[in-house]
Structure 1
């Protein structure tokens, strides 16, 4: 399979590239700073570009079978502003499958089901800016014709793949407090072949 990975220089994105290459896939990474990718592989193509430029996205997406986005908010609006461009580029290429990494804040609240977690008393975070960015992406994907999955981890410490985690559609599994970067990447990568969570958010935690 030919994959486009966005956010490839981040913590989760770099793990996803490693897993995809180990799985025999061809990977294209669209990055602003190619020097930040220290991997060299004959199935890895690194393209310098910006997700806020339609031409760069179209160049990177040619011949791709699926997109995995591990873009984070970085204190900017890049996440929400790039998604309409990405949806448009995928439409032009006739591409359907996209898997993104979001945040547990955009899952439904268990205590206040009419609210998202970040809007409810379940959330302990004082700042809601990142969750609001991810909510915009969720809204855009819901309104598209794509086959999307949003993986929604809670607190995300560094750590390798353990494999012993819990997932649940649209809510965070009860009592969950954290999930490592490695396990988040592993579950995200597995969505390429797992169609149980098409057009759904997935809460993931230990």
Structure 2
């Protein structure tokens, strides 16, 4: 397997890259800062560029089998600008499988049918920009012909793996409060091999 990674120097993306490299999976990552990335994910093939530039997306995906995106919002529209380019490039190159990291805010509300969690009082976040960006990703993937999965963690503190991860399709498990970065990355990495949740968002927590 050869894995293309976007957001490879982020908290989850870098851990997914390290897990892949440990299993001798080839990793190619699109990064902005080559020196910083080489320290964070040594052993990965690095493409220096911008996720909003189509040619940089194409160079990253070329020759890969699967795509992982850990891109976050960072108060910019990078995520929603990049995902259509990723989808189009995957379609043009015949690559089908993509796993992305979303947010629990885009899972279905338990109490208000037809709404996302971020649109209800189930979400404790007052700002909605990030959730709206992730909704654009979800809707774009839904409309595509790709085999997609969106892993949707709730509150994400740094921390080592604890195991005992609870998950639910398209909703957050009841009373889910948090899950560590490392457990989220492991869950996403496992999905690369198992393909259990194709065409679903998956809420994850302890």
TM-score range, shorter chain: over 0.9
Q: What residue is the counterpart of 1:144 in the other structure?
A: 144
Aligned to 1:46: 46
Q: C-alpha displacement at 1:7, in angstroms?
A: 0.3
Structure 1 segments of 4+ aligned residues over 2 angstroms from their partners: none
Q: CA deviation at 1:169?
A: 0.3
Separation in 2 of the partners of 1:10 and 1:35? 15
1:114 & 1:61 partners in 2: Cα distance? 35
| TM norm structure 1 | 0.97
Determine the structure 2 residue equivalent to 1:32: 32
Unaligned runs of 5+ in 1: none
**Distance in 1 between the 2:60 and 2:81 partners?**
18
Q: CA offsets, 1:12-36, max 9 Å, x none?
A: 1111111011122000011111122
Distance across 1 between alignment mates of 2:6 and 2:162: 24
Q: CA RMSD for the aligned pairs?
A: 0.8
Secondary structure of the 1:151 match is: strand
Partner of 2:85: 85
Q: Distance in 2 between matches of 1:168 and 1:97?
A: 21
Q: Counterparts of 1:10-159 in structure 2 under 5 Å?
A: 10-37=10-37, 38=39, 39-41=41-43, 44-159=44-159
Using the TM superposition, give the Cα deviation of residue 153 of structure 1 relative to its aligned residue in structure 2, in angstroms.
0.2
Instruction: State the secondary structure of the residue aligned to 1:192.
Output: helix
97-106 or 112-121, larger mean C-alpha shift: 112-121
Q: Distance in 2 between matches of 1:12 and 1:96?
A: 22
- Secondary structure in structure 1 of the residue aligned to 2:82: helix
Per-residue CA deviation, residues 53-79 of structure 1 (Å, 9 max, x unaligned), is 111111111110000000000000010
Q: In structure 2, what is the Cα distance between the partners aligned to 1:17 and 1:188?
A: 11
Q: 2 CA distance for matches of 1:195 and 1:55? A: 29
Task: Tell me the secondary structure at the aligned position of residue 67 of structure 1.
Answer: strand
Separation (CA, whole Å) in 1 of partners of 2:172 and 2:148: 18
Offset of 1:113 from its aligned partner?
Answer: 2.4
Using the size of structure 2 for normalisation, the TM-score is 0.97
**Any stretches of 5+ residues in structure 2 without a counterpart?**
none
Distance 1:84 1:40 in 2: 29
